[in-house]
Each structure stands twice: as C-alpha cells, then as structure tokens.
Structure 1
C-alpha cells in the first residue's frame, strides 16, 4: 500500500517547519512542495524536507494539501486548488485568520473532497525556509476550525499531521477563533508596531541603543514580516478594530489615572494586569 502524499503549498517558516518535523517521524507521508520562490523549493529538496518540488497543478493531485502562504494570498490559491481536488482528498491551511478562509475553502472545494481550516499557534519573528525549525510545533497548539459538512475522518487526518509534528490539537469554530486571536495575537502585533513607529517618528532623537529589556522584549514581534501582518489585520479587520477600540479605552483610563496622580487607581490597574499575566 502506497504512502499518503502530502502537498505543502508555501515552504516558508510554517510550511518548511512542518515538512522538517514530519521527516523526523516514523511512517511520515511522502511530501511534495510548491513555492513561488524557486529558491525555497530548491533548499527544501536539498535539505531533505520534501521528496519533490512541483507546480501548483501537480500539488493538487496529493491526498492532503496544506496551504502555508500569507492569508490574503491564500484565498485565491485555496479557490484554485479546491476546484482541482479529487474525491476523498483534503485541502487545509495554516492561516492566522479563519472565517473568510474557511468560507472560501468550503465554497470552492470539488465534490467528494473536503476543506478543513487550521492554525498552528507557533512562529517566530523570522520568515522564509531558512528560518524553518523541525521543533517549531513541539508542545504547541494547533487549532482546527471545522465547517458544516466536515467529516470526522477528514478532521482526524489533518489533526494527525499536526500531532506528528509535535502539536496538541484542539477545535474551535472559525468566528470564535478570529475573535480570540484578535486580542491575543493580532492586537499585540499591531501595538508593538505602533510603539516602535511612534519612537521612530519622534521629532526628538531617542537613541534606541539605550533601550533595556522592556522595550526590546515588548517590541520583538515588530520584527515580524510586514507583508504577512498587513494581510492578517486586513483580513480580520472587523475583530482587530473592535479589539483596538477596547484597548484604546483601557489605555485612556491609564492615561487619566496618571494625569490625576491617582496612586490607588494605578496600583489597582497594574495589579489586575500583573495577576492576569502571571496566570498565563
């Protein structure tokens, strides 16, 4: 009996790491890879991450196809691949926004095939195949976002891939996912970018060489790929704007406490934040 064939569309940090992680497991699938950057595909073959580099049409012939490209580019790619999938195959993704992607996937998937939305909660501020790490998903969480019509079999097939890569698999509906991650991922990135931008555009000179752990730790994620984060905040813009408005109200309250020299209020504000952070 032939091995199941996995196709990975996008061999950057996530796609490359998944391929490398699966290579370390017994009974791993045959892996084909596609990337619009020929250099990434070449490196993936040379480093043994994939068995074969192929084109977009060829990758649709795989048993499971995992789309690992920025979320705005993933929409047209998912629509094209979905129409080409064979009965019994599964198309899935690893995008950070889910509602719009799941909608596109379920609407475009060919009869007899299924689309399963997914999101591994793992990453770094680096990107590209050279940043790929076989341990990236170890002890991390991968979320599947089932849609109406998904079979248990398709969900288990996709979940098994992430488990083989070292992740713990949970399920969440797409809309809840986008609401939750607007607060715990998308807003923090936006705030980090905004803080660094505010310092970079000051009229007075602030030498960043003097920055200590606070600024460096808080803004590390502002070194993330700008194109990727442009896509994420635009695709999840409704939830991100709602989260930003809530954050603005909280920051306005902090500003007021400082202006009024309200020591009791400041201690209560900071203590609430500390207790919440300590519980993570």
Structure 2
C-alpha cells in the first residue's frame, strides 16, 4: 500500500510501525500520538516517515490504511470521528482494542462502510513506545471481527495485513470475541491484580521473602498499565463477570473435593490433562 497511518505509538502501535518498516508493507508511514516524545523517537530511528502533530491533519493526508492503536474508549471515539469523515471514505480503518462490544455499540447508529475491528493477541506488561519491538505479532493470533459487514475485498485487506506481520488470523463475531478474551486475557489479569492486592493487604510479611519464581511469574501481569486495564475491565465487565463466576464455581468444586483424596486427585489429573492437551 502507498500510505498508512498509526494512531497511538505505544507498545502495539510502535511494534506495528517497526514491522511495517522492516517488511516494507507501506511506502509512507504516518503516525499520531499525544506524546510528542514517542513521535520524535520513532521518526529519529526511522520507524515512521512523518509525524502528525494535529489529529485533523489525518483527514487531509487521506491514508490508504489507518490503524487505531489506543485504549478501547479512545479507539471508539476516534473510529467514530474518522468513519464520518467524507475525505476518508476510501481509507480502510482498523483497531487493536481488547474489547469490541463497547466499540460496536458506540458506532452502531452510523453507517459504517470501511471499518474492520481486529485484536492482535500479543503484548507485554510493559507499555509505551520504548516497550515496542520487532516481531511482536510473529506466530501470534489476531482476531478479526467484521462487526459492520463491510465488503469482502476490504475485509481481506485487513486479514492480509496482519498475516504479513506474521500473525495467524481467526474470525469471530463481537460476542464471541469478548467472551473468549475474557477467559484468555481479562480474567487472568483480574486474578493477578486481586492476588497482588490480597498479598499487599496481608499482615504476614514473610510472603514476599518466601516466594519463588512461580509467584513472581504469575504476578508479572499485575504490573500492566493501570490506565489501559481500567478501560478493559470496565468496557468488558459483563463477559469478565461471567468468566469470574465460572472460575469461582471451579474453585468451589476443587475445595469440596478436598474432602476426598481420590476425588481431588481425579479432578487435578483431569485438569492437568486438559492443560497439556490444549495449552
């Protein structure tokens, strides 16, 4: 493609820019970010060709492809703004947000012709442009959500874009996506946040001193960006509560099985086999 614009040069947006440049997927890479320092670093290193200082300038540039790599609520507002801009009617728009129901509801009252929602299942507990890296999406999955039923040609362009970054694409509808990622990502983060908070509030000061690598690795994601995760936990609350209820039921069943060694072993062996088969 000739021109591409990335809105948000954090971990995901910055990593996209690096892979696009390395794989020569666009002749010109534009970027907009509220942090001028991120734009300066990306341009100085040659990862982007042009930095955009004013958001409305995107409408004058008319990029062929626009990626909104910002938190969910911000992404919804940006996509709504861009989708209603006549000068961008030929641009293809996509996002990287972690929940889709909120965005779909935000946009459902307008006629959307050029938006394909997408979610690369890649990331880190680190954030910002400095955390971005080449190859982040290689051998990772990207979920494509064609919520607005756009034409097959534009849908294929979005799928092929992620595939060229090394990602395997899979398709889901809005509800399938939000319920799947509640289990795959959001609930694990919630549990890590909760366990870290419980340890913080525990009077026994020996927990940290007695912990080995397992606890530290388990709690690693509790150091994820609070602003981003507040956004995720609020916008995908229903699906997260559903997964949390199922998790609580599973914990209760395991605790009940402690009354019988054989029942408990049977449950643990069944869980072990499922984990080894599926993960």
TM-score range, shorter chain: over 0.9
How far does residue 32 in structure 1 lie from its aligned partner after superposition?
0.5
Q: Which residue of 1 aligns with 2:171?
A: 171
Shift of 1:251: 1.1
1: CA distance, partners of 2:127 / 2:111? 29
Deviation at 1:107, TM superposition (A): 4.0
Query: What is the distance in 1 between the residues matched to 2:33 and 2:24?
Result: 26
Which residue pairs with 1:57 in the alignment? 56
How many positions carry a matched residue from both structures? 274
Asked if structure 1 preserves the Cα contact closer than 8 Å seen for 2:39 and 2:51, the reply is: yes
What is the DSSP-based 3-state SS (H/G/I as helix, E as strand, rest coil) of the residue aligned with 1:56?
Answer: coil
In the other structure, the counterpart of 2:193 is 193
Over residues 253-278 of structure 1, what are the superposed CA-to-partner deviations in whole Å (9 max), with x where a residue is unaligned? 222333x3x21121122112211211
Distance 1:121 1:108 in 2: 28
* Partner of residue 43, structure 1: 41
Cα shift readout 1:99-138 (whole Å, capped 9, x = no counterpart): 221343454466xx41110000101111000011111001
1:232 aligns to 2:232 (yes or no):
yes
What is the TM-score when the length of structure 2 is the normalising length? Answer: 0.92
In structure 2, C-alpha distance between the alignment counterparts of 1:129 and 1:108, rounded to whole Å: 33
Deviations 1:223-242 (A, max 9, x none): 11111111111111111011
Say if 1:173 and 1:130 are closer, same or farther in 2 by CA, change over 3 A: same
Q: Deviation per CA, 1:157-211: give whole Å up to 9, x if none.
A: 2122212211112211111011111111111111111111111110221341431
Q: Which runs of 5+ in 1 are unaligned?
A: none
Contact 2:82 2:88 (C-alpha < 8 Å) held by counterparts: no
- The answer as to whether partners of 2:142 and 2:167 remain within 8 angstroms in 1 is yes
The answer for the alignment partner of 1:73 in structure 2 is: 74
Q: Could you list the runs of 5+ residues in structure 2 that have no partner in the other structure?
A: none
Structure 2 CA distance for partners of 1:213 and 1:19, relative to 1, 3 Å: same
